[in-house]
Structure 1
Amino acid sequence: MQTLKKTLLLILFAACWACSSTQTETTKADVATMDQLAERYVKTLLKLGQYDSDIVDAYYGPEEWKPTGEPTDSLPANEFLTEFKAIQQQLQAQDTTNLATDEKRRLAMFKKQIIAAITKVEMLQGKKYSFDQEAKLLYDAEPPHYELSHFDSILTAIDKQLPGKGSIAERWDAYRAKFEIPKDKLKLVFDTAIAEARNRTKAHYKLPENENFKLEFVTDKAWSGYNYYKGKGYSLIQINTDFPIYIERAVDLAAHEGYPGHHLFNVLLEQNLVDKKGWKEYSIYPLFSPQSLIAEGSANYGIEVAFPDQDNLKFEKEVLFPLAGLDASEADRYYAILAMIGQLDFAGNEIARLYLDGKINREQAADMLVKYNLYAKDKALQRTRFMDKYRSYVINYNLGKQLVRNYIEANSGTDNNPAKRWQLFGELLSNPNTASMLK
């Protein structure tokens, strides 16, 4: 009897071992397939980037994967679509049964990224999407809709706070002039803000020893600031000086473009997903993809993570205002008005939707930006240039921030638990995430 029991146990053990071994081999095969698809995806995106320089925001993968030779005179859209759709088909066929949780997230994100790549090729080919369709396909997001009248009560409240006569935009422009950073103080103020943002971030995350950046001031751009991540922990950060730069923008841009914003995001992706896990699809950052909603949203929310409201105001009044040679006596009032103006952010999305869907022209869009976002007219026209160039990308800043904030706060990363907020923020930046995953 004992011999029979032992025999049965051995048979059961062998069967379990064989099953486990088969599952392990299946999992390895699935992961290997994703690795092969990742290489094809990256190489194809790099080739596509030869036809539109905005498509590849950053690349820090193998040098030999870069295309050689000159691109053809016209976009071979069908070739790109054929390859991306072939990759998509193989991703859809992947069996997720035996995949680890992180590999399942990898696959889910990869599927969203390939939808965005296909959509971008179709758009380059001339296909038209509505603002909302484009946002969903490129960024996996559904922009909320607001009536512009929703923002009128906010404008009324701002109106009561501003001194002087004239329109709200004119009075705001005149009032905030006293908070402009003199051009000869820009470098000192920004260097100080970035150093503070970096110190606060490094207190919570272990960054590569050689991690660094270069700061440049530029002109004639459609944006106010940009981070060009070069790989190996290094970024080029550019600040546009076409228009006046006000004191609050020092911390905003230091955190957004640097720490714990775009620079940190790319450092953590490279460190955790490319170097440690070998997920080569993260060696490329396609700008028009779901990755951008997380990138821009986390960069904007990261300002508050590193510089909570009152702490930020204290740092600016005590450190940055004196460095810029500005009077801090009006700072409290100024920042209170800025907070109210921040409630107008989503008005810009509504204006972009109307403009890009062809319901208003450029001049009308600029006038609405003056009214609802309090831009000076020349700044408003610059913003329409941004809409022309980046289209529904505008949602990534405010909707992205809202989604990131909601996710972190829903998981206990609240104002009164900053350590948990930093932890969740770092985890968010170090793993595959897209808008639908945060809900």
Structure 2
Amino acid sequence: MKKYLLLMLVVSCCWACTSTKTEDTAQANASMNELAERYVKTLLKLGQYDSDIVDAYYGPEEWKPVAPAEDTLPAEEFLKEFMQIQQQLMAQNPESMTADEQRRRLMFRKQVLAAITKVEMMQGKKLDFDEEAKLLYDAEPPHFELAHFDSILSAIDQQLPGKGSIAERWDTYREKFEIPKAKLDTVFKAAIAEARKRTKAHYKLPEQENFKMEFVTDKAWSGYNYYKGNGYSLIQINTDFPIYIERAIDLASHEGYPGHHVFNALLEQNLVNKKGWKEYSIYPLFSPQSLIAEGSANYGIDVAFPAGERLAFEKSVLFPLAGLDTSEAERYDAILKKIGQLDFAGNEIARLYLNGEISREKAADMLVKYNLYKKDKALQRTRFMDKYRSYVINYNLGKDLVKHYVEANGGTDDHPEKRWEVFRDLLSNPNTASMLK
């Protein structure tokens, strides 16, 4: 009888502990849900003062601000609200949470820190390039000596035909790979259709998912995805400058499949709809989420179109649709790969420019030399730097971090199915730069 009573007492205590832990978890989750609503509503209000802040919103319609923005940014009110949300997130006990909820809380805190930083910048606070990148994107940009890129330029110099500077010879050589404007729509539709087919062979996307594509002008970017919610995107392609054949797959995958469109659709499907994590119903552009978004969109190009498959599709489908000669396709592809190794030079130039160490004209000249831009394209790029500042790290550093994470978890070139699987899990869950290491 005593043994029975003792057993009942142990069972009762264990049940009470489990029950208490379950209640604590539910309470923490409810608290996080309440904080998520406050966070989303505050970001939507902040977005009235800068249209770039909210990149996408697909939450409750009634959460959108009704009152128009005040004439002057009420920065202190925004800071007070975001800081209170941050303090309440930090006060929560992670030991009472599941691993999933702990990741949610960690990501949430980093997103709120970015919101605080953005308000302070709107208020006039000056941050240097690296500090800004750390606070907004949870990332530490690498540093490269320009001599590192000089050696890459030497290798490109040997591959390019003609006479003159490397940039001049590249411009001349590249002209034969420009997509005629009259054929842009046909080429891009074919590239997006193939990217979509390849992605849907691996991922179950929402049944109603779809997109609309538009060609636009007078933009600081080459392509943009406006995710509207419910699996729908507006994809815009900027035609201010010539568009070359490789950009068809680049933009089809980056903006569409398995890039931004798929990333947002999976977040909406898995985190917002299934788990009710409403903080993911808003995508604040200047936040750690952007490093994952841009990095995964760039890496997604290689996931959907591994090197050999990409060139084969371009030669057999896209080149003919654009009316281009395929005889130089392999050489062009090899030079593009070399030029891709210059990508981080743009970050170094942006750091110097945004930290006030070089002028716009100098930055443009350096972009011509190290990224082989035409001068007018280089000046457009400086305008992008003015507008988005340290955001430039998200494309290349983001891609490297995502690539290393996927490969470290088994998604290597010789295991393509595993690569698709790990990549999908990364797109579908809370992740930020420091969480990928």
In the aligned structure 1, how far is the partner of 2:165 from the partner of 2:65? 53
Identity %: 78
Report matched runs for 1:142-181 at 5 Å.
142-181=140-179
Which residue is 1:290 aligned to?
288
2:402 maps to 1:404: yes
Report matched runs for 1:172-251 at 5 Å.
172-251=170-249
Which residue is 1:119 aligned to?
117
- Aligned match of 2:89 in 88, 91, 96? 91
Which SS does the other structure have where 1:237 is aligned? strand
The one-letter amino acid of 1:265's match is: F
The one-letter amino acid of 1:199's match is: K
Give CA deviations for 1:109-139 in whole Å, capped at 9, x if unaligned: 0010010000000000000000000000000
Displacement of 1:411? 1.0
Which SS does the other structure have where 2:161 is aligned? coil
Which residue is 1:16 aligned to?
14
Which SS does the other structure have where 1:229 is aligned? strand
In the aligned structure 1, how far is the partner of 2:134 from the partner of 2:154? 33
Which SS does the other structure have where 2:94 is aligned? coil
Give CA deviations for 1:7-41 in whole Å, capped at 9, x if unaligned: 10011111111111111111110000000000000
Which residue is 1:343 aligned to?
341
Which SS does the other structure have where 2:5 is aligned? helix
In the aligned structure 1, how far is the partner of 2:32 from the partner of 2:147? 48
Which SS does the other structure have where 1:238 is aligned? strand
TM normalised by structure 2 equals 1.00
After the TM superposition, which of the residue ranges 98-107 and 349-358 deviates more from structure 2? 98-107
Displacement of 1:152? 0.4
Give CA deviations for 1:243-275 in whole Å, capped at 9, x if unaligned: 000000000000000000000000000000000
In the aligned structure 2, how far is the partner of 1:74 from the partner of 1:7? 69
Aligned residues: 437
In the aligned structure 2, how far is the partner of 1:338 from the partner of 1:219? 25
Displacement of 1:98? 1.8
The one-letter amino acid of 2:333's match is: Y
The one-letter amino acid of 1:88's match is: Q
In the aligned structure 2, how far is the partner of 1:160 from the partner of 1:131? 34
2:97 maps to 1:103: no
Which SS does the other structure have where 1:329 is aligned? coil
2:78 maps to 1:61: no
In the aligned structure 1, how far is the partner of 2:410 from the partner of 2:24? 37
Displacement of 1:69? 2.0
Give CA deviations for 1:54-112 in whole Å, capped at 9, x if unaligned: 00000000000000121100100000000000000000001011211110100000010
2:313 maps to 1:315: yes
In the aligned structure 1, how far is the partner of 2:205 from the partner of 2:28? 31
Which SS does the other structure have where 1:227 is aligned? strand
Which SS does the other structure have where 2:225 is aligned? strand
Give CA deviations for 1:117-175 in whole Å, capped at 9, x if unaligned: 00000000000000000000000000000011110010000001111111100100010
Q: Structure 1: which 5+ residue stretches go unaligned? A: none
- Aligned match of 1:255 in 253, 256, 280? 253
Displacement of 1:412? 1.1
The one-letter amino acid of 2:41's match is: K
Which SS does the other structure have where 1:146 is aligned? coil
- Aligned match of 1:44 in 15, 19, 42? 42
TM normalised by structure 1 equals 0.99
Report matched runs for 1:365-380 at 5 Å.
365-380=363-378
Which residue is 1:76 aligned to?
74
In the aligned structure 1, how far is the partner of 2:25 from the partner of 2:313? 51
In the aligned structure 2, how far is the partner of 1:208 from the partner of 1:22? 37
The one-letter amino acid of 1:21's match is: S
The one-letter amino acid of 1:332's match is: E
The one-letter amino acid of 1:207's match is: L
Give CA deviations for 1:268-299 in whole Å, capped at 9, x if unaligned: 00000000000000000000000000000000
- Aligned match of 2:131 in 133, 141, 147? 133
Which residue is 1:438 aligned to?
436
The one-letter amino acid of 1:423's match is: E
Give CA deviations for 1:303-360 in whole Å, capped at 9, x if unaligned: 0000000100000000000000000000000000000000000000000000000000
Which residue is 2:412 aligned to?
414
Which SS does the other structure have where 1:61 is aligned? coil
The one-letter amino acid of 2:197's match is: N
In the aligned structure 1, how far is the partner of 2:40 from the partner of 2:351? 31
